[in-house]
Copies of this chain bind each other. A is one copy, B any other.
Amino acid sequence: MGKWTTQNDARARRIESGSQYAKGKVVMGDQVTPFLEAVLHPGDRVCLEGDNQKQAQVLAQAMMDLDPARIHDLHMVQSGIVLPEHLDLYERGIARKLDYSYSGPQSLRITSMLVDGKIELGAVHTYLELFARYFVDLTPNVALIAAVCADKDGNLYTGPNTEDTPTIVEATTFKGGLVVAQVEKIVDKVPRVDIPGDRVHFLVETGKPFYVEPLFTRDPGAITPTQILCAMMAIKGIYGPYQVQRINHGIGFSTAAIELILPTFGEKLGLKGKIATHWALNPHPTLIPAIEAGWVQQIHSFGSEVGMEHYMAARPDIYFTGVDGGLRSNRAFCQTAGLYACDIFIGSTLQIDLDGNSSTVTESRTAGFGGAPNMGSDPHGRRHGSAPWLKAGAEAYPDTPAALRRGRKLVVQIGETFGDKNVPLFVEQLDAIKLSQKLGLDLAPVMIYGDDLTHIVTEEGIANLLLCRNADEREQAIRGVAGYTEVGRGRDKKEVERLRQRGVIQRPEDLGIDPLDADRRWLAARSIKDLMLASGGLYDPPSKFRNW
C-alpha cells in the first residue's frame, strides 16, 4: 500500500474480493452478479464492451441484477450503446454518466433519456477519438469484455471479431484496472492468442457466443436504379479521374452499389487494377464479386461480418488472418488506416445543409457517428503524397505554391435527393442544431463538416466543392445537385449553369452516362444468393437474409 500505488492496490483488493466467487480466474457460473458487486465500486469508469457489432451481452445482463444501493454512479465509457441493457443501467440508477460513439438501435431511446436528464452525457465521439481518451482522461477502472474462448490462464481468443478488445484491455490493464472477459467456453489451448492471459483477471464462462449483429450486410436485391446511377457517376467521375486506390466505404446501399458494379461497369471503363485495390473496410459481402474478379489486393477490417467467416478464411491473400486461419480485425488500427492511409471516404447521410455540413442525427435520434467523422475528415497530419490526394489539393488550393500545397482527402457524400419516405436529403438547417439546443450541447452533432466535404453525388450529378472559390459558389453547387428538393428548387439557375461550364457540377450526360442505362443488369450480384454463389458457397448469409 503506497502513496503512488493506489490504483494497483485497489486492483489487488478487487481481485481479492472477486476471487471469493471464482476458482482461479474462472468465476463460478451462478455467482456472476455477486462477483460484479464485489469488484465494482460506485463511481467507477466502466467499459462494458459493446461496439456497433460485438456485445458482451452476458455481462450486460448480469449488471442488471446489481444492487444500485451498492453499485451506482458508474461512468460508462464504451463505443456502442446497442443493447437495451446498456440504457437500463441508467434507469436502474446503476450508471450515471456516459461517453460513447454509436447508438444505432438505441438512438430513439437514448435521445429521450438524454432529454429527460436520465443520462449525464460526456460527449459523442468517433471510435478512434474515444480510444485516444482511454489513454488520457477516460481510462477505465474496469473493463467487461467479450471473447470466443479462453484458457485457464486467461489467454483470450476473440475470433474474427477482435474489434475494440485489444485497445480496451491495453488501456485498462496497464493502468491498474481490472479486466473481466465473458467467453463461451474455457479450453485447454486457444486457437490464437488475441489477448495475452497476463492482461486478464477473471473469466466468465457463458456456454453461448457473444452477440454479434450483421450490420454490414446489404441485400443487392434492394438496390435501386437511382443508386446504380449514382454509383456509375462515382466511379466514372471520381474514382477514375482521381485514380483512387485506397478506399473506405461507409455503410449503405449506395456504396454497396459501387462495390457491385466494379466488375461490370468498372471493367468496361478499363479501371481494373487502377482503382479500388486497397481497402480499410468491414467485410462487406457485396465486395465478393469484385474480389473474385481480381479487383482487390488487400482489405484491413474494423470488425467481422456474420456469415463471412469461411469466405475470409479461404481468402488470406485479401484479408488479415491469424494462425487459426480466421480473420483478425482491429478497430483502432483500421480507423487509423482509414484516417491516414486512405485517399477517399464515401458514405451516406440523412441531411446536408447549404454549407455542406451533414448529419445522420435527427431531432429524435442521436445515433452517433461511429467512425465516419474520423474517416470523413481531412487529416492535416498527413505528409505522404498520392495521385488522388495531390490532385484534390491542386484543385482546392490553386494559388498556393505547389511545394507548400497540401493534398486533400476526398470526402464524398452519395445519396438520392429524396431518401427514405421521400424525406429530402438537402435542408436549410440540420436537425442536429435543434437537437443540440434541446440537449444543451456545446456542439451540434455534425457528422462531416462542410470544410472537409469535397464532393456530393446525387442522381442529378456530381458537385465538386474543391473547385468552389467562395461560400456562394459552394451553396449553388450544392443546390445544383439537390434535385427537386426545396433546396434544389432554390437554385440560381444561371450560376448553376456557370458552375457546370466550369466542371464544378457534372451531370450524368457530362460524364457520358445515360441515366436510362443505369439498371440492375450492372449489378455483379443481384441477390444475397448471388453473393453466396459468387463466393463458391463460402459465404454463409445469416438466416434473416436467406429468402430462397
Contact = CB atoms under 8 A, between A and B. Distances in A.
Interface stretch (A111-119, A169-177, A219-227): A169-177
Q: Which DSSP category, helix, strand, loop or mixed, fits chain A's interface? A: loop
B135 A315 contact: no
A321 interface: yes
Interface stretch (A209-217, A260-268, A375-383, A507-515): A375-383
Given A132-B340, A322-B174, A342-B136, A404 B357 contact: yes
A8 interface: yes
Interface in A262-283: 278-280
A522 interface: no
Contacts of A381: 126, 128-129, 339, 373-377, 379
A466 to B, nearest CB: 15
Q: List the number of copies, as a whole number.
A: 2
B334 A135 contact: yes
Contact of A442 (B314, B334, B390): B390
A6 interface: yes
Contacts of A30: none
A334 B175 CA distance: 14
A131 interface: yes
A23 interface: no
Contacts of A428: none
Interface string A120-136: 00111110110111011
A300 interface: yes
A449 B300 CA distance: 30
A176 B449 contact: no
Contacts of A176: 316-317
A22 interface: no
A385 interface: yes
Contacts of A403: 432-433, 436-437, 441, 443-444
A110 interface: no
Interface of A: 4-8, 99, 122-126, 128-129, 131-133, 135-137, 139, 155, 167, 170-171, 173-176, 192-194, 196-199, 245-246, 278-280, 298, 300, 314-318, 320-323, 328, 330, 332-334, 336-337, 339-342, 355, 357, 369, 373-385, 390, 401-407, 432-433, 436-437, 441-446, 449, 451-452
